[in-house]
Structure 1
Amino acid sequence: MHPMPPVLYLFALCNLVIGSGAFVLGGILVPLSESLHVSLAAAGQAMTAYAVSTALLAPVLIIATARWPRKRAVQLALALFAAGCLVCALSGNLVMLLLGRVLMGAGAMFSAAASALAVSLVAPALRGRALSITFLGMSISYAVGVPVGAWLGFEYGWRVPVWLSAGASLAALVAASWLLPANMASAGANFAGFGAAARQPAVLRTWLRTLLYFVAIFSVFAYIGPVLQALNTMSSTQLSITLAVFGLAGVAGTLSGGWANDRFGSLPTMRVQLAVLVTTMAVLPLTRGHLYATMATLVVWGIAGFGVMAPQQSRLAGMAPAQAPLLLSLNGSMLYVGTALGAVISGAMLDHLHLSQLGWVGVPFGLLALLTLVFEPAHVRPVADTTAHSA
């Protein structure tokens, strides 16, 4: 059993904070919309603003800070995220809220930077487990941060969980400043060959798969609170418990996804995960009026869906190890473009579908993501090897 670098657990903690702050609003859109006197669809723009900001700004910030010491880049990311949380907590209208979400989205560059560092700190055979630890915090945020935040938002007002996110972000900034070694080398200083790597069909398919996958899941998750309440009448406590069950399944999925990647390989793992995910999204609307069936479906969804990113990112990093930071950052951009598109598409469908039926909106995109794996070669020669031979 190979020990993992301790810094990965700090990354997991920071991702817990970022995930909780980023996605808690999805569970409390109803009280938020009532407080700001806007429609539910307009309130959903808070999710879209965060996603678009991260998609556009994360690669720019990754490039701008590529030659910085990693500690300073992490400090910048967490400071931006904390500042965004504070602006959101103080916002008196939708415009100010969206501005805060843009700042938070810029700070979410942390996740892409942490992913690149994680794969650079371990042997290739351990990349899946390293990434699963790094993203474990994101999964725990769904299990703990989002449900607790949803309960607090309904019981005491939507600003309470946002203030808590601001405090947690500042605490994460202090922890990173104290615990991260000052001499931690940059993992993003090598841009040679990036253009060649980015043009590889396998890389482009990977980015497309990430985009489609997140369009699929965020067609539901952007409105997860209202969707669950449309499926089954439930109190704020029941909603929080349901979200917690989903999140706990996601934790199991994240860990099992990393293990399965290292044990069976990325392609077999992702094929099973995406096939199961599409099935659960198709089934979810059919569980209306049956709470336990809804929860069971969410458990399967969480295990399958949350496990995808570890094998996906491990495979991408292996395609061009020297360019992994930028490749992973742009993969993160595809993640957030997909998040934004999923929110926009489902928001546009609210006039035509019942909230409980949003799962069906994501099914075609999930099938397209699965289709990208059908003809995927088992092994892709790393671009770095090719360029090295031609040099």
Structure 2
Amino acid sequence: MPSAAGNTPGKLPFVVWVLAAGTFLMGTTEFVIAGLLPELAGDLGVSVSEAGLLITAFAIGMIIGSPTMAMATLRLPQRQTLILALTVFSLGHVVAALSSSFTVVLIARVVTALVTGAFWSVGAVIATTAAGPAASARAMGVMIGGLTLANVIGVPLGSFVGQYVGWRGPFWALAVVSALAAAVIGRCIPAREEHVGVSVRSEIGALRHGRLWLALSAAMLIMGGVLATYTYITPLLTDRAGIPEGAVPLVLIAFGIGALGGTTTGGRLGDRLPMATTITAAAATTLVLFLMIPLSAHPVTATALVFLMGLTGFTVNPIVTALAVRFAGNAPTLTSALTTSAFNTGIAAGSAVAGTALESSLGLTGPPLVGTMIAALTLLPLIALAVCGTSRAGRIVAQRRAPAGELIEEPAEVRSPL
């Protein structure tokens, strides 16, 4: 893996872009089910609501599986872990595509979620280490951008293909492409540079740092606020804004473009102005979600607010993820896995509370109101981080080359840019 020192100034290592492609595949498989539910339910002989469990199972698998798989694979070489994760990911899609049993497909989804957590936890460490501390947030922006791009391109394309060739078609495509990605990953991370000295005790010990939990709390809350609104955005657009159902995908693409712009912005500004950027973005997200309550009755303003919701909300993600890995010092693997769990916990909890609000007297404005309150709470851990970060040094992982040519990670005290 290229070291940060050897990078061309202003350019990220190629391996970061390869890892982003991997997150694109995994983001696509997580959300493409939503566009295939009717076809999948009919083919497997279950109701649409039962088929929806395939989405829930994946989210739960990510919440539980990310830290579990991170610890289970801790002593494996990083390259081997990534290749193994992509291989199992591919096989899981093959099993699902060949099966006519809903139970088997459900189990396959859980397994793919587990290895997705392993890929993310290790990939985030490799990306931030390869980019170096001066560009770690930008590297995370690129990786999270892969997930965001999945919503802009992967999910709509998968849904479109599935409508013509059946739901198994996208599963076969994901199986083939992920197998190819495993081969590319194997060539991008040389074996002689993959070994990292790790300790289960140090990984668990990193959880004692208070700033780490503040960053994880911010990650959970910002996603909870945005997804509380986004989960039920379709009825808001059709029944309140009067947008035709056929035009809703175009509005959702606008959200994806905004989210992609947000991750890019967060990645660019996060290394230089992390706290100013996150606090401003969280405050802007709160305002956008609040304005959606009175201004979502018009198609133009509703579309603009959906775009801004993605732009402001996703600006926070790469920064808090990079900060969490930095605060973990020489134990970043479990921490990067916990960020995945934090995001998915926020998504699950936010959408659940928003669903309750939707069924209440608040009606269609309930989800944006819930999202506003959750997003506003994001400011609390971010402000606490800004206060704590001004008086304490941050710890990052530095690399040195051992005599045998292996890379060993060492904790290095540096002045944090907080």
Task: Give the TM-score category using the shorter length.
Answer: 0.7 to 0.9
Structure 1 residues 57 and 65, CA, compared in 2 at 3 Å: closer, same or farther?
same
Report if aligned partners of 2:133, 2:396 keep a CA contact under 8 Å in 1: no
One-letter identity of the residue aligned with 2:109: R
| Whole-angstrom CA distance in 2 between matches of 1:68 and 1:177 | 14
Deviation (angstroms), 1:158: 4.2
Structure 1 residues 170 and 347, CA, compared in 2 at 3 Å: closer, same or farther?
farther
Find out whether 1:189 has 2:198 as its counterpart. yes
| Whole-angstrom CA distance in 2 between matches of 1:241 and 1:388 | 47
Find out whether 1:118 has 2:130 as its counterpart. no
1:103 aligns with: 111
1:381 aligns with: 393
1:340 aligns with: 348
2:221 aligns with: 212
Find out whether 1:308 has 2:320 as its counterpart. no
1:19 aligns with: 27
Deviation (angstroms), 1:11: 0.5
| Whole-angstrom CA distance in 2 between matches of 1:157 and 1:363 | 38
| Whole-angstrom CA distance in 1 between matches of 2:12 and 2:36 | 36
Report if aligned partners of 2:74, 2:200 keep a CA contact under 8 Å in 1: no
Q: Among 90, 106, 110, which residue is 1:82 paired with?
A: 90
Larger CA deviation: 349-358 vs 165-174: 349-358
Deviation (angstroms), 1:165: 2.8
Structure 1 residues 203 and 188, CA, compared in 2 at 3 Å: closer, same or farther?
farther
| Whole-angstrom CA distance in 2 between matches of 1:355 and 1:89 | 37
Report if aligned partners of 2:158, 2:170 keep a CA contact under 8 Å in 1: yes
Deviation (angstroms), 1:280: 2.4
1:240 aligns with: 249
Find out whether 1:322 has 2:330 as its counterpart. yes
Unaligned ranges ≥5, structure 1:
none
Report if aligned partners of 1:207, 1:334 keep a CA contact under 8 Å in 2: yes
Report if aligned partners of 1:273, 1:308 keep a CA contact under 8 Å in 2: yes
Q: Among 62, 69, 73, which residue is 1:54 paired with?
A: 62
Higher relative contact order by CA 8 Å / sep ≥ 6: 1 or 2? Answer: 1
| Whole-angstrom CA distance in 2 between matches of 1:212 and 1:261 | 18
1:45 aligns with: 53
Structure 1 residues 99 and 382, CA, compared in 2 at 3 Å: closer, same or farther?
same
Structure 1 residues 230 and 180, CA, compared in 2 at 3 Å: closer, same or farther?
farther
| Whole-angstrom CA distance in 1 between matches of 2:114 and 2:369 | 31
| Whole-angstrom CA distance in 2 between matches of 1:355 and 1:31 | 27
Deviation (angstroms), 1:50: 1.0
**What SS does the corresponding residue of 1:375 show, helix, strand or coil?**
helix
1:129 aligns with: 138
Find out whether 1:369 has 2:369 as its counterpart. no
| Whole-angstrom CA distance in 2 between matches of 1:268 and 1:188 | 34
| Whole-angstrom CA distance in 1 between matches of 2:43 and 2:232 | 17
| Whole-angstrom CA distance in 1 between matches of 2:244 and 2:367 | 18
Deviation (angstroms), 1:9: 0.9
Find out whether 1:255 has 2:255 as its counterpart. no
Structure 1 residues 115 and 81, CA, compared in 2 at 3 Å: closer, same or farther?
same
2:5 aligns with: none
What CA deviation, in whole Å up to 9, does each residue of 1:10-56 have, x standing for no partner?
Answer: 01111111111112223454555566666665444322211111111
Structure 1 residues 358 and 120, CA, compared in 2 at 3 Å: closer, same or farther?
same
Q: Among 212, 216, 239, which residue is 1:203 paired with?
A: 212
What CA deviation, in whole Å up to 9, does each residue of 1:222-279 have, x standing for no partner?
Answer: 455566555544344x333222222122221111111111232x11111111112222
Report if aligned partners of 1:27, 1:226 keep a CA contact under 8 Å in 2: no
**What SS does the corresponding residue of 2:193 show, helix, strand or coil?**
coil
Report if aligned partners of 1:319, 1:381 keep a CA contact under 8 Å in 2: no
Larger CA deviation: 342-351 vs 48-57: 342-351
Find out whether 1:180 has 2:189 as its counterpart. yes
| Whole-angstrom CA distance in 1 between matches of 2:245 and 2:164 | 10
Give me the TM-score of the superposition, normalised by structure 1: 0.86
Q: Which has the larger radius of gyration?
A: 2
| Whole-angstrom CA distance in 1 between matches of 2:34 and 2:193 | 35
1:170 aligns with: 179
One-letter identity of the residue aligned with 1:125: A
Larger CA deviation: 322-331 vs 209-218: 209-218
User: Number of paired residues?
Assistant: 386
| Whole-angstrom CA distance in 2 between matches of 1:325 and 1:27 | 33
| Whole-angstrom CA distance in 2 between matches of 1:4 and 1:383 | 21
Larger CA deviation: 167-176 vs 350-359: 350-359
2:339 aligns with: 331
**What SS does the corresponding residue of 1:10 show, helix, strand or coil?**
helix
Give me the TM-score of the superposition, normalised by structure 2: 0.81
| Whole-angstrom CA distance in 2 between matches of 1:37 and 1:223 | 26
Q: Among 73, 76, 84, which residue is 1:68 paired with?
A: 76
2:152 aligns with: 143
